[in-house]
């Protein structure tokens, strides 16, 4: 008997100026199924999701929902069909309540006024399905990221959604919050909802998904049952090769006596008395639970946030950074974990983003020189193997992995002495992760000081030569050496044991 599908996409092609994002791809999702969509950054996953969600039309191809041909012209039309979309960057109104966000555009009215009593009641009922422990009256700005995600899901469910798209839903969640989200997904699945799950995290795919479809370079590769495969099968389908060891070898050239960076008794609003050093040739990792203060330490050391006390030496010379520009001028750069809001200018071109940290190199007096801008941008596009249709295109048109490489190129253009990467591979596929890890090792071997802050324990263990663990704003301990560098040892320190 032939299987019937809730959703089908056949021969979907999407042509943008200068690039074909999708080329004759297909996707079939059954009712009550959690279906993963995998592929390297730039494989076309987000493009297909945007077509399904009504954000833009396909160039050719057709889609079917419950056997009926569809082509939503906008997100509202997609919602009306029964398709919900929870984006990686949540699209909620922060100044409104959770209830108002759930029922925005269709608030219940009594005579000529909003019936808030019914609004709170209906919203609380929907949220209770997901075990939400907050009132629907609460403002979005007062909620955590995971609570905001619940509001987005509740919004889709209240619209009688039958297919829910979750785009990198766990990228900003703690392990506890991820577990709660998975419980919600399991419950929705039991009720017959189909869920399209986009993630680069292999353990999540095998924990929660029934099937996985793989795209590569805008083309359909295969669909597999997760019970019949392992992560190597997915990786091989994604990158067209076996990656082998995901992490580069540890450094063999650490110069113990040469400290590139030395920090002594650094204090700030959320951390106290932090002291450490960064040796020449090593990659120093910072681990700890979300909220432990790792990012705050880095931001204060770079002059982005104020420090209340502490001393900083760079190559033996004491520094007193009043702001981030002072740190950059001395050769210290910080790559934020929030590349879209704090790292890149999304409305500007790839070229302008790549040259924005080093305008002196591309200008004469007060005038920017087009030729110099192009040379600098082209140099790092080639050096970092960034996939672009052209450097004049907006940086928002790039995949997450290529955006991260552009951010890295932007700061490499100042020829830094120390590079600090906060969540260096968040939301990036395994192929791009491997490239960035190898690049960090190359920089360290060339004498650049490298610090990474990561919430992914396999990453921080795989890349770092030495790991400092932060617990509640204090250094809880240091882990180094293959035998000592285990998840158990790191978690013991991170949890304060």
Is residue 340 very low, low, confident or very high in pLDDT (cuts 50, 70, 90)? confident
Min mean pLDDT across 136-140, 148-152, 236-240 is at: 236-240
The two beta strands, 255-268 and 309-314, are antiparallel
* Average pLDDT score over residue span 325-339: 92
Q: How far is CA 146 from CA 5, 291, 377, 423, in A?
A: 30, 14, 37, 18
Domains of the chain with CATH codes: 7-239 (3.40.50.300), 255-494 (3.40.50.300)
What CA–CA distance (Å, rounded) separates 272 from 68?
Answer: 61
Average pLDDT in the chain: 89
Tokens of 117: 């009593």
Is the pLDDT score of 455 beyond 90? no
Min mean pLDDT across 96-110, 111-125, 357-371, 395-409 is at: 395-409
Tell me whether residue 346 is exposed, middle or buried, using C-beta atoms within 10 angstroms of its C-beta: 0 to 12, 13 to 18, 19 or more: middle
* Average pLDDT score over residue span 375-389: 88
> pLDDT tens for residues 51-80?
999 998 999 999 999 999 999 999 989 999
Is residue 241 very low, low, confident or very high in pLDDT (cuts 50, 70, 90)? low
Is the pLDDT score of 187 beyond 70? yes
Rg of the Cα trace of the chain?
A: 24
∠ at Cα 340 (334, 341), nearest 5°? 80
Is the pLDDT score of 308 beyond 90? yes
Is residue 2 very low, low, confident or very high in pLDDT (cuts 50, 70, 90)? low
Alpha-helix residue ranges (DSSP H) falling in 103-201:
116-128, 145-158, 175-190
Q: What is the pLDDT of residue 418?
A: 96
DSSP 29-60: E-TT-EEEEE--TTSSHHHHHHHHTTSS--SE
Using the structure block, give the residue that is written with the tokens 């082209």: 378
- Specify which of 44-48, 260-264, 396-400 reaches the highest per-range mean pLDDT: 260-264
Q: How many CA atoms are closer than 13 Å to the CA of 344, on its beta-carbon side?
A: 26
What CA–CA distance (Å, rounded) separates 433 from 425?
Answer: 6
Q: What is the pLDDT of residue 22?
A: 93
* Average pLDDT score over residue span 338-355: 88
* pLDDT top residue among 132 and 95: 95
Is residue 1 very low, low, confident or very high in pLDDT (cuts 50, 70, 90)? very low
Is the pLDDT score of 214 beyond 50? yes
Q: What is the pLDDT of residue 497?
A: 66
What CA–CA distance (Å, rounded) separates 17 from 254?
Answer: 47
pTM: 0.66
Neighbours of 275 (CB within 10 A): 12
Q: What is the pLDDT of residue 197?
A: 93
Is residue 245 very low, low, confident or very high in pLDDT (cuts 50, 70, 90)? low
> pLDDT tens for residues 103-133?
988 888 988 899 999 999 999 998 888 778 8
Sorted by sequence, the CB contacts under 8 Å of residue 244 that are 6+ apart come out as none
* Average pLDDT score over residue span 176-205: 88
Is the pLDDT score of 150 beyond 60? yes
> Which stretches does DSSP call E strand in 337-459?
363-364, 367-368, 418-422, 449-453
Q: What is the pLDDT of residue 4?
A: 80
Is the pLDDT score of 246 beyond 80? no
> pLDDT tens for residues 412-451?
999 999 999 998 887 777 777 888 899 999 999 999 999 9
């Amino acid at each position: 008997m032939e299987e019937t599908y809730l959703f089908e996409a056949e021969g979907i092609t999407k042509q943008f100026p200068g690039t074909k994002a999708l080329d004759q791809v297909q996707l079939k999702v059954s009712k009550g199924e959690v279906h993963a969509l995998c592929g390297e950054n730039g494989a076309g996953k987000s493009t297909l999701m945007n077509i399904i969600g009504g954000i833009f039309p396909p160039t050719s191809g057709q889609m079917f929902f419950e056997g009926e041909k569809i082509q939503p012209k906008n997100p509202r039309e997609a919602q009306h069909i029964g398709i919900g979309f929870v984006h990686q960057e949540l699209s909620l109104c922060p100044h409104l309540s959770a209830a108002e966000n759930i029922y925005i555009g269709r608030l219940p009215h009594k005579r000529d006024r909003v019936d808030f009593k019914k609004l709170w009641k209906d919203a609380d009922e929907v949220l209770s399905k997901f075990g939400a422990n907050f009132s629907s009256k609460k403002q979005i700005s007062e909620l955590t990221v995971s609570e905001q995600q619940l509001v987005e899901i509740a919004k889709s469910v209240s619209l009688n959604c039958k297919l829910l798209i979750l785009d990198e839903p766990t990228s900003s969640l703690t392990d506890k919050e991820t577990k709660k989200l998975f419980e919600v997904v399991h419950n929705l699945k039991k009720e017959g909802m189909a869920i399209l799950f986009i993630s680069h995290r292999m353990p999540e795919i095998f924990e929660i998904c029934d099937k996985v479809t793989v795209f590569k370079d805008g083309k359909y590769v295969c669909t597999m049952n997760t019970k019949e495969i392992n992560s190597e099968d997915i990786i091989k389908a994604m990158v067209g090769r076996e990656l082998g060891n995901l992490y580069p070898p540890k450094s063999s050239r650490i110069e113990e006596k040469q400290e590139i960076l030395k920090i002594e008794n650094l204090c700030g609003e959320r951390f106290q008395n932090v002291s450490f050093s960064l040796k020449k040739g090593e990659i120093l990792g910072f681990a700890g639970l979300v909220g432990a203060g790792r990012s705050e330490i880095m931001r204060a050391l770079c002059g982005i946030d104020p420090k209340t006390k502490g001393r900083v030496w760079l190559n033996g010379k004491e520094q007193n950074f009043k702001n981030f520009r002072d740190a950059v001028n001395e050769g210290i750069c910080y790559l934020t974990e929030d590349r879209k809001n704090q790292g890149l200018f999304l409305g500007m071109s790839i070229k302008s983003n790549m040259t924005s940290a080093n305008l002196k190199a591309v200008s004469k007096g007060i005038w920017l020189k087009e030729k110099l801008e192009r040379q600098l941008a082209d140099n790092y596009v080639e050096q970092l193997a960034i996939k672009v249709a052209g450097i004049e295109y907006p940086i928002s048109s790039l995949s997450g992995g290529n955006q991260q490489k552009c951010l890295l190129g932007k700061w490499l253009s100042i020829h830094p002495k120390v590079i600090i990467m906060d969540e260096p591979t968040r939301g990036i596929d395994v192929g791009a992760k491997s490239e960035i890890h190898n690049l960090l090792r190359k920089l360290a071997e060339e004498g650049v000081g490298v610090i990474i802050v990561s919430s992914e324990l396999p990453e921080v263990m795989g890349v770092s030569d030495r790991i400092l663990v932060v617990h509640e704003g204090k250094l809880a301990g240091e882990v180094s050496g293959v035998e000592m560098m285990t998840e158990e040892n790191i978690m013991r320190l991170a949890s304060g044991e």
